[in-house]
Amino acid sequence: MSEFDYIVVGAGSAGCAVARRLSDHTSNRVLLLEAGEEPAGFWLHTPAGMAKMFSENKFNWSFSTEPIPHANDRKMIWPRGKTLGGSSAINGMVFTRGIRHDYDEWMRQGNPGWGWNDVLPVFLRLEHNSQSGIMVGKGGPQKVSDPAVKAALLGDFIQAAALSCGVPITENLSADGLEAAGMLQASIWNGKRQSAYEAYIRPILTRRNLTIATRAHVTRILTNGSRATGVEISTDSVLRQFSAIREVILCAGAIGSPHLLLLSGIGDLDELRAHRISPTLHLPGVGKNLQDHYSSQIKVRTSPRGSYNRYLSGWRKYVEGARYLLNRSGYLACGATLAGALVKSELDLEHADLDIGFRPISMTYSPSGQVVVDRLDAISLSVFVCRPRSRGTVQLASADPLRPPKIRPNYFSDPADMVSHVRGMRICREILSTEPLASSIHEELLPGLHHRTDEQLADYIRSTGKTSFHASGTCKMGHDPMAVVNARLQLHGMDNLRVVDASIMPTVTSANTNAPTIMIGEKGAAMILQDNDQG
């Protein structure tokens, strides 16, 4: 069959939600296209296996940025999922919504229906949470749970962060959307990763109205004048075309969606002409407004009881492996970041602008993306600026659809981001020196106390920081000249074409982006059905 009602490009966090909700209507014929293969293998489904997924493998696009001027001209590996489930199949599984201000700011920028009070019911509808309460969901596809093992220093970190930063303690840092310190939940259930594919698509694989094609690399969007009519895909170097009667929905992510639009002649005319691509629509904001959370870590040596490291290295890792195989429990059933604090870098700020994560393990990151657990008793704190001012771009490297685009994050191009980041490092040190956590800390390993001045800390940040894998904003929602989609996620100037993924965020959310991206998928699908008189 070459004709469908809806074609969904990209089976990631948003795409799985969109395909599921559209196919809930049995009259709809839905095609879900994914460039990667089906998820398979022990480590892909094991929470602790995330460390193996960040380096180059067949389930990872393993993008590389251009040299980053304000990060010592380093090139940085940008992992993105390339399988059913997308980045939710390889990420750190932290499941959090961000803060209320994130969404109210989207609405303030001219996007009705995207305020906190609008999106909260969608968050509640999408999840099935191990906790109970009015601010968590029950019965949704996406399963979310507390850490399988409560680290010995988990509560100590939360108390120390609350005391040193003057924020309240919460049982669930995600639920209220307010600045606080508390435990973080994860997209893990009964010891197994719950990617968006596992949550939304695997339970409905027998549906006759849903067709899933893997290893299907979409090369361009087909158009007729100002109307999207379908897509062209490459499978094993063979080109095929599929028609969409109602809509084409791009869910290829903050890198893939703008790249595909540009390849299809939709973007800035000068960029298209430079690559000899026939312009279809001048939309200068495509690929602009790129945002990400640049993360730095503080690593400290602790007493043996404080760290998971010894259980994930040496002979003990085999014991943990057997424990996991027997009953899906133990340290392999956990993610890395178990608690966090949303705090202000300055007291007079209206909203929290720093995200600090607590990890009862410490890891060493190689430039290639490989992650290795340290063989000493240590923990780490990570910090990033929630709403960075710096903006980057995703641009064409070539008209060849199989060649990756040029990614320029432009971290710290706005100096204010470095000022806030340095303050965040100092706040991490204050937390570590506050009881009840301080008595378990033996020494600071990174950056080390010889990094004292702001400039020394800034140099450490520039030299060692990394992506938090939160790419967003490259097809921003709004009505200004650089907006790509409207509040209904419809492409400006093109009928029957929407973008529904993290690229539509006008500003990145103040924490991990997986839960917000699934929310965008749910909300986008509801809009599609309403606008096609099916809602």
**Residue positions annotated with a catalytic role:** 470
Do residues 525 and 21 make contact, with C-beta atoms less than 8 angstroms apart?
Answer: yes
358 — phi, psi (to 5°)?
-105, 125
Q: How far apart are CA 68 and CA 478, in angstroms?
A: 28
Do residues 139 and 413 make contact, with C-beta atoms less than 8 angstroms apart?
Answer: no
Closest CA to 32 of 9, 55, 65: 9
Establish whether 139 is an annotated binding residue: no
Helices (H), 433-491: 454-464
Establish whether 92 is an annotated binding residue: yes
Establish whether 410 is an annotated binding residue: no
Distance of CA 106 to the CA centre of its chain: 18
State the CB neighbour count (10 A cutoff) for residue 135: 17
Establish whether 418 is an annotated binding residue: no
Do the strands 127-129 and 142-144 form a parallel or antiparallel pair, or are they unpaired? parallel
CA distances from 446 to 77, 157, 425 (A): 21, 18, 11
To 5 degrees, how large is the angle CA 409–CA 412–CA 415? 150
Who contacts 148 (Cβ-Cβ below 8 Å, separation ≥6)? 47, 188, 191, 329, 330, 333, 334
Establish whether 425 is an annotated binding residue: no
Q: How far apart are CA 233 and CA 240, in angstroms?
A: 5
Closest CA to 477 of 497, 450, 452, 506: 506
Q: Annotate 216-239 with DSSP letters as a single string.
A: -EEEEEEEETTEEEEEEEEETTEE
Secondary structure E strands in 289-417: 294-302, 339-343, 354-359, 363-365, 371-373, 378-385, 393-395, 406-408
Secondary structure E strands in 178-280: 181-183, 188-189, 192-193, 210-213, 217-224, 227-235, 238-250, 266-267
Residue 341 three-state SS: strand
Q: Which helix (H) or strand (E) holds 442?
A: strand 441-446
Do residues 16 and 256 make contact, with C-beta atoms less than 8 angstroms apart?
Answer: no
Residue 467 three-state SS: strand
* Binding-site entries for FAD: 91-94, 218
* Binding-site entries: 91-94, 218
